[in-house]
Amino acid sequence: MSSNLYRNILIATDGSENSIKAISCGIEIAKLSGATIHAIHVVDTPPVISEVWTAGKDMIYEMMISDGKKIISNAKKIIEDSGVEVREVLLYGHPSEEIIKFAENNNMDLIVIGTLGKTGLERFLMGSVAEKVVRYSKVPVMVVRNGKEKLILRY
C-alpha cells in the first residue's frame, strides 16, 4: 500500500542518537507512502570560524566536512538497508536555514528532525535547529524528541 501524501521526505541528521531515531521514523513513513528520503546534513559554518579565526580555520572546516560526509554516509546505509530509496545531500551554512530552504526549493512533503530536548539556559545558548525549523518552515515538520514523548507534528 502506498499513498501520495508523502512523495519526498527530508530527514535532517547530525549523527546523534536522536537523529538516528528520526531516521527510523522517517523510514517507516517512507515505507507506508512509497516516498523517497532525502538524507541531509548541514555543515554548520558559524560566523566565528569564517570571520574571526585565521590559524587552523581550514583544518577545522575540513574536519567538519569530513564528519558531515561520514554522518550522511551512515544515514544512507541505514536507509538503503531498509529498502527505501534515498538521496544524500550535504549542505553548508546555518542548519535551520539550509534545511528550510532545501525543503521549500525541492518540493519536500515532510521534514523529519530529531531534537535533543534542551531547555532553559542551555537551549537559549545553543539555539535549537529543530525549533527554528518548526517555527519557520512552510513544509510540515515531524520532530522526534529525546525522551518520553516521541513525536510532535506541525502542519
CB 26 within 8 A of CB 37: yes
Predicted pLDDT of residue 47: 58
Q: Could you identify the residue written with the cell 529498502?
A: 83
Helix ranges (H only) for the chain are 17-33, 47, 57-81, 95-105, 120-126, 129-136
Q: Where are the domains of the chain?
A: 8-154
Model confidence at 23: pLDDT above 50 = yes
Helix (H, G, I), strand (E, B), or coil: what is residue 67?
Answer: helix
CB 18 within 8 A of CB 66: no
Model confidence at 119: pLDDT above 90 = no
Q: What is the pTM of this model?
A: 0.84
Distance, in Å, from the CA atom of 62 to the CA atom of 53, rounded to the nearest integer, reads: 14
Model confidence at 49: pLDDT above 70 = no
Q: What is 8-154's CATH number?
A: 3.40.50.620
